[in-house]
């Protein structure tokens, strides 16, 4: 356990990044419990992703949790007028791609690619995804990460650190269009 804590401390100490991460995940504001997209298990996963991003030292916007940019230890920012405005000021879109694809996530990924934002996709390779997911790379820089289906803390931390390292390069040296 102490090894896990020291890894966490290293990530927190090393990762004070000046990135704004838009967490794209199914939201009850866009989907209802009757459509079967958003479950209690998914709520836990989205919350764990948000916490891992905050632990890594980035500002996070998650329409599921807040209507402000949040940074761990620094309080909350000012209210964001809309999720689209948050995406406009984001440096990176970090998306959980579930099955079936949520209409809200599809819309947020559409915004991200239209704005040429780097996109990190947490995907389960065993699931067939909608064509929109398969063609995102034609428009924006995309890092697909196969995610641990057990959603272990170690796998989540690894995915977040890998994504943020990649985003640092993508934001610093954007691909030419």
19 is a domain residue: yes
175 is a domain residue: no
173 is a domain residue: no
- How many residues in the chain? 177
53 is a domain residue: yes
Q: Is the pLDDT of residue 134 over 50?
A: yes
- Name the domain count of the chain: 1
Please give the pLDDT value at position 54. 93
Q: Which of 32-41, 73-82, 127-136 has the lowest mean pLDDT?
A: 32-41
95 is a domain residue: yes
* CATH number of residue 84's parent domain: 3.40.50.450
**Predicted structure pTM score:** 0.79
Range of the domain at 135: 2-168
Please give the pLDDT value at position 128. 63
The residues facing 111 across adjacent strands are none
Tokens of 101: 């694809």
176 is a domain residue: no
Tokens of 120: 């990190």
Q: What angle do CA 70, 73, 74 make, to 5 degrees?
A: 60
pLDDT tens per residue across span 55-79 = 999 999 988 887 778 888 666 667 7
Cα end-to-end span (Å), the chain? 45
Q: Nearest CA to 47 among 39, 164, 174?
A: 39
105 is a domain residue: yes
Look at the alpha carbons of 105, 110, 111, 112 in this order and tell me if their dihedral is positive or negative: positive
Q: Nearest CA to 90 among 71, 56, 67, 118?
A: 118
177 is a domain residue: no
Contact 164, 17 (CB under 8 A): yes
The more confident residue out of 6 and 151 is: 151
**Could you check whether the bond before residue 56 is cis, i.e. omega within 30 degrees of 0?**
no
* DSSP labels, 48-85: HHHHHHHHTT-EEE-TTT-SEEE-TTS-EEEEPS-HHH
């Amino acid at each position: 356990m102490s090894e896990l804590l020291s890894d966490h401390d290293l990530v927190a100490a090393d990762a004070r990044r000046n990135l704004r991460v838009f967490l794209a995940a199914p939201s009850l504001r866009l989907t209802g419990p009757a459509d079967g997209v958003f479950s209690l298990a998914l709520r836990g996963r989205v919350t764990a992703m948000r916490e891992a991003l905050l632990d890594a030292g980035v500002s996070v916007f998650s329409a599921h949790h807040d209507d402000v940019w949040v940074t761990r230890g620094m309080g909350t920012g000012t209210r964001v007028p809309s999720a689209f405005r948050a995406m406009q000021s984001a440096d990176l879109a970090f998306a959980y791609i579930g099955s079936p694809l949520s209409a809200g996530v599809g819309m947020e990924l559409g915004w991200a690619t239209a704005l040429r934002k780097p996109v990190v996709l947490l995907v389960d390779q065993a699931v067939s995804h909608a064509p929109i997911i398969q063609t995102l790379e034609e428009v924006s820089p995309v890092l697909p990460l196969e995610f641990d289906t057990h959603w272990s803390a170690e796998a989540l931390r690894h995915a977040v650190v890998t994504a943020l390292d990649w985003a640092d390069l993508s934001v610093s040296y954007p691909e030419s269009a």
